[in-house]
Structure 1
Amino acid sequence: MSDENRAEKPKLPPRWFIRLAWSVHRGLYRISGSRVGLWRPRADRWGTLRLTTTGRRTGQRRSVIIAYLEDGPNLYSLAMNGWGEGEPAWWLNLQAHPDATVNLVDGQRLVRGRAATGDERSRLWARWRDIETNLDAHAALRSSETAVVVLEPRPGAEHHAG
């Protein structure tokens, strides 16, 4: 990390505010019958999707709305936990049970989650950095590396509209 990035420590809203904002987002999604709250990524911004995983301890279905970008047939996100410490529960769940479902504006997909590594991780991180210019500074707030999570189409699964 350069001295320049160290000097520019980004300011984040308090953790309670971040959690409240995402709770309101999820509430709008639910209340609107899934019509509000998801959008496709564009050249200059990320999109949002609803990810449903299997709980690593309970075995129950758990859903969360997360930001994502596209990489060919794959979708990818950052396991950032609001830039706070620790891994987000959805990423821990995916590590235990990689098969999941995503809801996008144009339908549902069956996916399998994994961490990007090596050149793939560098390439995907750089693409996210093109959109979020403070990405490296935000990542530096965490004591561990932020996983880049790839959601690949599940083998044999088809795209489901709806």
Structure 2
Amino acid sequence: MAEEVSDSPNPWVADHIRRFVETNGNARSGMNDLLLTTRGRRSGKLRRTALLYARDDDRYVVAASNAGADRHPAWYLNLVADPDVTVQVGAQTFPARARTATAEERLRLWQLMISMMPSYREYEKATARDIPVVIIEPSP
């Protein structure tokens, strides 16, 4: 029996996940969205969220912006604790490993994320924390 996955408690994100699943990953036309499933660092349960991504060769790049809040999103804290994740892009689901970009990598990848979604600039201005950029690499 498959392990149960809990979707984000945020109503907007939960609705986006539902639309993503119903449309095989085409919830927002023209947007690069993926579903990321992490293991809860305290609960041990599987948690799923929807994120905008950019491609960097064969890697997926996401930003832990939390819309500019002063705290990291739960999904980011979960993958720091356990970097083995599951990703769905379109109808394809695959295991992957996630890590925070190094400071050197972040410089280039943050600009890539801003090019995908210019509002990341505003999120960066709204918070005192450095917004982590996460690199997700499909597992072999």
Counterpart of 2:59, as a letter, is: N
Gap change, CA 1:136 and 1:90, over 3 Å in 2: same
Counterpart of 2:22, as a letter, is: R
> Could you report, residue by residue, the CA deviation over 1:98-155 in whole angstroms, capped at 9, with x for unpaired residues?
000001114112111111113311111111222333432321101200000111122x
Gap change, CA 1:28 and 1:134, over 3 Å in 2: closer
Confirm or deny: 8 A CA contact 1:52 1:64 kept in the other structure: yes
Gap change, CA 1:57 and 1:35, over 3 Å in 2: same
Q: Could you tell which deviates more after superposition, 117-126 or 130-139? A: 130-139
Equivalence map 1:79-158=2 (5 Å): 79-154=64-139, 157=140
Q: Secondary structure at the match of 1:124?
A: helix
Q: For the aligned residues, what is the CA RMSD? A: 2.3
Q: Secondary structure at the match of 2:112?
A: helix
Flag the structure with larger Rg: 1
Q: Aligned partners of 2:127 and 2:121: how far apart in 1? A: 10
Q: Aligned partners of 1:75 and 1:114: how far apart in 2? A: 11
Confirm or deny: 8 A CA contact 2:54 2:116 kept in the other structure: no
Alignment gaps of 5+ in structure 1: 1-18, 158-162
Confirm or deny: 8 A CA contact 1:25 1:37 kept in the other structure: no
Match of 1:36 in 2: 23
Match of 1:60 in 2: 45
Q: Work out the number of aligned pairs and report it.
A: 131
Alignment gaps of 5+ in structure 2: 1-9
Confirm or deny: 8 A CA contact 1:37 1:48 kept in the other structure: no
Identity %: 29
Question: Which stretches of structure 1, 4 residues or longer, exceed 4 Å deviation after superposition?
Answer: none
Superposition TM-score, scaled by structure 2 size: 0.82
Q: Could you tell which deviates more after superposition, 117-126 or 139-148? A: 117-126
